[in-house]
Amino acid sequence: MHAFNYESPSTLADALKLMKAHGEKARPLCGGTDLLIQMRAGVRQPEFVVDIKKIKELRELKFSARAGLRLGAAVSCIDIAENEEMRRNYPGLTEAAHLIGSLQIQNRASVGGNLCNGSPAADSTPALIALKARARIAGPRGEREVPVEEFVVSPGRTVLKPGELLVQLLIPAPAPHSSDAYLRFIPRNEMDIAVVGVGASVTLDGDKVKAARIGLGAVAATPLFAQKASESLAGKKLDDAALETAARLASEASSPIDDMRGTAEYRRHVTGVLTRRVLTIAAERARKR
Amino acid sequence: MEATTSNGKFKVIGTRPIRHDGIDKVIGRAKYGADYAFPGMLFGKVLRSPHAHARIKSIKTDKALKLPGVKAVVTAADLPEAANRLEQAGEMAINPHYLSMNILARDKVLYDGHAIAAVAATSPHIAEEALKLIEVDYEVLEPAMTVDAAMKPGAPILLPDLRNREEGDKQTNVAQHYQFKRGDVEAGFRAADYVVEREFNTAMVHQGYIEPHNAVGIYNADGQATIYCSTQGAFDVRSLSAQVLGVPVGKIKVVPAEIGGGFGGKTTIYLEPLSVLLSKKTGHPVKLVMTRSEVLRASGPTSGSKIKVKMGATRDGKIVAAQVWMAYEAGAFPGSPVGAGAMTILAPYTIENLQIDAYDVVVNRPKTAAYRAPGASNAAMASETVIDELAEKCGIDPLDLRIQNGVKEGSPQVVGPPFRRIGFIETCEAIKNSDHYKSPLSGPYRGRGVASGFWFNAGMQSSATVNIHTDGTASVVTGSPDIGGSRASMAMITAEVLGLPVTDVRPLVADTDSIGHTDVTGGSRVTFATGMAVYEAAQDAARQLRERAAKVWEVKPEDVELHDGVLSLKEKAEGKAPMTIKEMATKLARTGGPIIGRASVNARGVGPAFATTCVDVEVDPDTGKVQILRCTIAQDVGKAIHPSYVEGQMQGGTAQGIGWGLNEEYFYDQKGILRNTGLLDYRMPTCLDLPLIETILVEVPNPGHPLGVRGVGEVSIVPPPAALANAIYRAVGVRMTETPMSPPRLLKAILKKRAAEETQSAAAD
Amino acid sequence: MSKKTLVETTINGEAVEFLCEPRQSLLECLRDVLELTGSKEGCLTGDCGACSVLVDGRAVCSCLMLGVEAQGKNIRTVEGLADGTALHPLQQKFLEHASLQCGICTPGILVSATALLNRNPDPTEQEVRYALAGNLCRCTGYDKIVRAVLDAAKAMKSGARPNRAA
Nearest-Cα residue of chain B relative to residue A263: B744
Q: Which helix (H) or strand (E) element contains residue A247?
A: helix A240-253
pLDDT at B761: 86
Domain layout of chain B by residue ranges: 22-29+459-603, 418-450+606-754
Whether the pLDDT of residue A18 is over 70: the answer is yes
Mutate which of B686, B745, B746 to disrupt the A interface (most A C-beta within 10 Å)?
Answer: B686
Q: Does the beta carbon of C130 lie under 8 angstroms from any beta carbon of chain A?
A: yes
CA angle B451, B452, B455 (to 5 degrees): 150
The chains in contact with chain C, meaning 3 or more Cβ pairs closer than 8 Å, are: A, B
CA B179/CA B356 separation, integer angstroms: 6
Q: What is the band of B89 on the pLDDT scale with cuts at 50, 70, 90?
A: low
What DSSP character marks residue A31?
Answer: S
Q: What is the ipTM of this complex?
A: 0.97
Do the Cβ atoms of A104 and C46 come within 8 Å?
A: yes
Cβ neighbours of B717 in C, within 8 Å? none
Q: What is the band of B1 on the pLDDT scale with cuts at 50, 70, 90?
A: very low
Alpha carbons within 13 angstroms on the beta-carbon side of residue B605 total: 18
pLDDT at B90: 62
Mutate which of A270, A276, A280 to disrupt the B interface (most B C-beta within 10 Å)?
Answer: A270
CA distance C133 to chain A (A): 6
Residue B89 or A144, more confident: A144
Query: Which residues are B508's β-sheet partners?
Result: B477
CA B393/CA B410 separation, integer angstroms: 29
Has domain C5-80 been given CATH number 3.90.480.20?
no
Do the Cβ atoms of A103 and C22 come within 8 Å?
A: no
CA B333/CA B158 separation, integer angstroms: 8
CB atoms within 10 A of CB B126: 21
Q: What is the band of A186 on the pLDDT scale with cuts at 50, 70, 90?
A: very high
Q: What residues contact B423, with CB distance under 8 A and at least 6 apart? A: B610, B636, B698, B700
Asked if residue B185 lies in contact with residue B323, where contact means CB atoms within 8 angstroms, the answer is yes
Asked if residue B360 lies in contact with residue B179, where contact means CB atoms within 8 angstroms, the answer is no
Has domain B22-29+459-603 been given CATH number 3.30.365.10?
yes
Do the Cβ atoms of C43 and B28 come within 8 Å?
A: no
Q: Does the beta carbon of C40 lie under 8 angstroms from any beta carbon of chain B?
A: yes
Q: Does the beta carbon of C64 lie under 8 angstroms from any beta carbon of chain B?
A: no
Asked if residue A217 lies in contact with residue B692, where contact means CB atoms within 8 angstroms, the answer is no
**pLDDT per residue over B614-635, tens digit each?**
999 999 999 999 999 999 999 9
Q: Does the beta carbon of C43 lie under 8 angstroms from any beta carbon of chain B?
A: yes
Do the Cβ atoms of B485 and C101 come within 8 Å?
A: yes
Q: How far apart are the first and last CA of chain C?
A: 35
Do the Cβ atoms of A4 and C46 come within 8 Å?
A: no
Do the Cβ atoms of B28 and C97 come within 8 Å?
A: no
Cβ neighbours of A36 in B, within 8 Å? none
Query: Which pLDDT tens digits describe chain C residue by residue (166 residues)?
Result: 568 999 999 999 999 999 999 999 999 999 999 999 999 999 999 999 999 999 999 999 999 999 999 999 999 999 999 999 999 999 999 999 999 999 999 999 999 999 999 999 999 999 999 999 999 999 999 999 999 999 999 999 988 765 544 4
Do the Cβ atoms of B747 and A266 come within 8 Å?
A: yes
Do the Cβ atoms of B683 and A269 come within 8 Å?
A: no
**pLDDT per residue over A143-168, tens digit each?**
999 999 999 999 999 999 999 999 99
- Strands across the sheet with B595-603, in order? B505-509, B474-478, B460-468, B595-603
Whether the pLDDT of residue B166 is over 80: the answer is yes
The chains in contact with chain A, meaning 3 or more Cβ pairs closer than 8 Å, are: B, C
Q: Which of B69, B678, B685 sits opposite C47 (nearest CB)?
A: B678
CA B4/CA B1 separation, integer angstroms: 10
What DSSP character marks residue A162?
Answer: T
Distances (CA, A) of A246 to A88, A106, A150, A273, A281: 26, 32, 22, 10, 14
Q: Is the overall model pTM greater than 0.95, yes or no? A: yes
Nearest-Cα residue of chain C relative to residue B287: C32
Do the Cβ atoms of B126 and C104 come within 8 Å?
A: no
Whether the pLDDT of residue B168 is over 80: the answer is yes
Whether the pLDDT of residue B204 is over 90: the answer is yes
Q: What is the band of B284 on the pLDDT scale with cuts at 50, 70, 90?
A: very high
pLDDT at B91: 61
Size of interface A-C (CB pairs under 8 A): 86
Indicate the class that CATH gives domain B418-450+606-754: alpha beta
Do the Cβ atoms of B743 and A3 come within 8 Å?
A: no
Whether the pLDDT of residue A20 is over 60: the answer is yes
3-state helix, strand, coil in chain C (%, to 5): 35, 15, 45
Share of chain B above pLDDT 90, in %: 95
Do the Cβ atoms of B748 and A266 come within 8 Å?
A: yes
Cβ neighbours of B126 in C, within 8 Å? 1
Nearest-Cα residue of chain B relative to residue C24: B125
Whether the pLDDT of residue B8 is over 60: the answer is no
CB atoms within 10 A of CB C125: 13
Interface of C with A in 83-122 (CB under 8 A): 112, 115
Q: Which of B22, B31, B260 sits opposite C95 (nearest CB)?
A: B22
Q: What is the band of B5 on the pLDDT scale with cuts at 50, 70, 90?
A: very low
Shared fold status for B22-29+459-603 and B418-450+606-754: yes
Residue of C1, C36, C2 lying closest to C16 (CA atoms): C36
Do the Cβ atoms of C66 and A36 come within 8 Å?
A: yes
Do the Cβ atoms of B687 and C128 come within 8 Å?
A: yes
Q: Which of A6, A32, A51 sits opposite C64 (nearest CB)?
A: A32
CA distance C8 to chain B (A): 23
Domains and CATH numbers, chain A: 5-51 (3.30.43.10), 56-171 (3.30.465.10), 179-185+192-287 (3.30.390.50)
Cβ neighbours of C105 in A, within 8 Å? none
Whether the pLDDT of residue B429 is over 50: the answer is yes
C89-157: CATH topology is DNA polymerase; domain 1 (1.10.150)
Cβ neighbours of A10 in C, within 8 Å? none
Taking residues B141-146, what's their average pLDDT?
Answer: 98
pLDDT at B327: 98
Do the Cβ atoms of A3 and C22 come within 8 Å?
A: yes
Q: What is the band of B4 on the pLDDT scale with cuts at 50, 70, 90?
A: very low
Do the Cβ atoms of C77 and B28 come within 8 Å?
A: yes
3-state helix, strand, coil in chain B (%, to 5): 30, 25, 40
Q: Which of B623, B681, B688 sits opposite A273 (nearest CB)?
A: B623
Cβ neighbours of C25 in A, within 8 Å? 36
Do the Cβ atoms of C65 and A108 come within 8 Å?
A: yes
Do the Cβ atoms of B678 and C94 come within 8 Å?
A: no
Q: Which of C2, C47, C131 sits opposite A103 (nearest CB)?
A: C131
Cβ neighbours of B263 in C, within 8 Å? 138
**pLDDT per residue over A201-228, tens digit each?**
999 999 999 999 999 999 999 999 999 9
Cite the DSSP H helix spans in B19-123.
Answer: 22-26, 62-66, 96-103
CA A27/CA A39 separation, integer angstroms: 11
Do the Cβ atoms of B622 and A190 come within 8 Å?
A: no
Nearest-Cα residue of chain A relative to residue B683: A188
Nearest-Cα residue of chain C relative to residue B122: C1
Do the Cβ atoms of B678 and C50 come within 8 Å?
A: no
Cite the DSSP H helix spans in B289-423.
Answer: 292-298, 338-344, 376-394, 398-405
In chain C, which residues fall in CATH 1.10.150.120? Answer: 89-157
Whether the pLDDT of residue B533 is over 80: the answer is yes
Q: Does the beta carbon of C76 lie under 8 angstroms from any beta carbon of chain B?
A: no
**pLDDT per residue over C134-146, tens digit each?**
999 999 999 999 9
